[in-house]
Chain A
Amino acid sequence: MTAMVEISHLTKHFGAFTAVDDVSFKVNKGEVLGFLGPNGAGKSTTMKMITGFLTPDAGTVTVGGDNIANSPVAVKSRIGYLPEGAPLYSDMTPEKFLHFVAEIRGMRGTEKARRVDEVIQKVNLESVVYKPIETLSKGFKRRVGLAQAIIHDPVILILDEPTDGLDPNQKHEVRSLIQSMASEKVIILSTHILEEVDAVCTRAMIIANGKLLADGTPASLAAKSPLHNSVEITIRTDNPDPVNRELEQLNGIKSVEKFKTTDGCVSFRVYSSTEQTPISLVNQLAHDKDWKVENLHVETGRMDDVFRSITTQQKTTQQKVAS
Chain B
Amino acid sequence: MANIWVIFKRELAGYFTTPIAYIFIIIFIFLSGIFAFYIGNFFDRGQADLTPFFSFHPWLYLFLIPALAMRLWAEERKGGTIELLLTMPITMPQAVLGKFLAAWAFTAIALALTFPIWISVNYLGEPDNGIILAGYLGSLLMAGAFLAIGSCVSALTRNQVIAFVVSAVICLMFVLSGFPLVLDFFSIWAPEFIVTAISSFSFLTHFEAMSKGVIDLRDIIYFVSLISFWLFANAVLIEYKKAD
Q: Is the CB of B87 within 8 A of A79?
A: yes
Task: Please judge, given known A-B contacts A77-B89, A101-B88, whether A53 and B83 are in contact too, CB under 8 Å.
Answer: yes
Query: Interface size class for chain B?
Result: 20 to 34
A76 within 8 A of partner (CB):
yes
- A100 contacts B6, CB within 8 Å? yes
Does A190 make an interface contact (CB < 8 A)? no
Using Cβ atoms and an 8 Å threshold, which residues of chain A touch B90? 73, 76, 104
- Asked if A87 CB lies within 8 Å of chain B CBs, one says yes
Is B47 close to A, CB under 8 A? no
Known contacts being A103-B6, A104-B3, is A87 close to B84, with CB within 8 Å? yes
Q: Is the CB of A83 within 8 A of B80?
A: yes
Q: Kindly list chain B residues whose C-beta atoms are within 8 Å of the C-beta of A106.
A: 2, 89
Chain A interface residue count, CB cutoff 8 Å, equals 29
B242 touches A100 (CB 8 A): no
Contact across chains for A88 and B81 when beta carbons are under 8 A apart: yes
A132 CB to nearest chain B CB (Å): 8
Q: Nearest 3 pairs between A and B by C-beta? A: A87-B80, A77-B89, A76-B89
Chain B 58-102 interface 0/1 with A at a Cβ cutoff of 8 Å (1 = within): 000000000000000000000111011011111100000000000
A89 and B88 in contact (CB under 8 A), knowing A53-B242, A100-B10, A104-B7? no
Contact with B along A59-86 (1 / 0, CB 8 A): 0000000000000111011010101010
Given A81-B87, A101-B88, 4 more pairs with CB closer than 8 A: A83-B84, A88-B84, A90-B79, A106-B2
Shortest CB distance B15–A (Å): 10
Q: Which residues of B contact A46 (CB under 8 A)?
A: none
For residue A14, CB closer than 8 A to chain B, the reply is yes
Question: With A83-B80, A91-B14 known to touch, is A73 a contact of B89 (CB < 8 Å)?
Answer: yes
Total of A-B residue pairs, C-beta within 8 Å: 67
Give B residues with C-beta under 8 Å from A.
Answer: 2-3, 6-7, 9-10, 13-14, 17-18, 79-81, 83-84, 86-91, 242-243
Task: Name the contact of A105 in the complex, choosing from B80, B89, B91, B243 (C-beta under 8 A).
Answer: B89
- Determine whether the beta carbon of B81 is less than 8 Å from that of A51: no
Instruction: Give every chain A residue within 8 A of B87 (Cβ-Cβ).
Output: 51-53, 76, 79, 81, 83
Task: Identify A73's interface contact among B2, B6, B91, CB under 8 A.
Answer: B91
**What is the distance, in angstroms, from B221's C-beta to the closest C-beta of chain A?**
32
Contact B242 A54 (CB under 8 A): yes
The residues of A that contact B80 with a CB separation of less than 8 Å are 83, 85, 87
Complex Cα spacing A73 to B80, Å:
20
Residue of A nearest to B84 (CB): A87
Q: A54-B242, A91-B18, A106-B89 are in contact. Are A48 and B81 (CB under 8 A)?
A: no
Contacting residues, chain A, for B79 (C-beta < 8 A): 87-90
CB distance from B133 to the nearest CB of A (A): 35
A72 and B88 CA atoms in complex are apart in Å by: 10
Are A89 and B81 closer than 8 Å at their CB atoms? yes
Given contacts A54-B242, A92-B17, A100-B10, contact A48 B89 (CB under 8 A): no
Q: Is A148 interfacial (CB 8 A cutoff)? A: yes
28 contacts between A and B (CB under 8 A): A48-B83, A48-B243, A53-B83, A54-B243, A72-B91, A73-B91, A74-B89, A76-B87, A76-B89, A76-B90, A79-B87, A81-B84, A81-B87, A83-B87, A87-B79, A87-B80, A87-B83, A88-B79, A88-B84, A89-B10, A89-B79, A89-B81, A91-B17, A92-B14, A96-B13, A103-B6, A104-B6, A104-B90
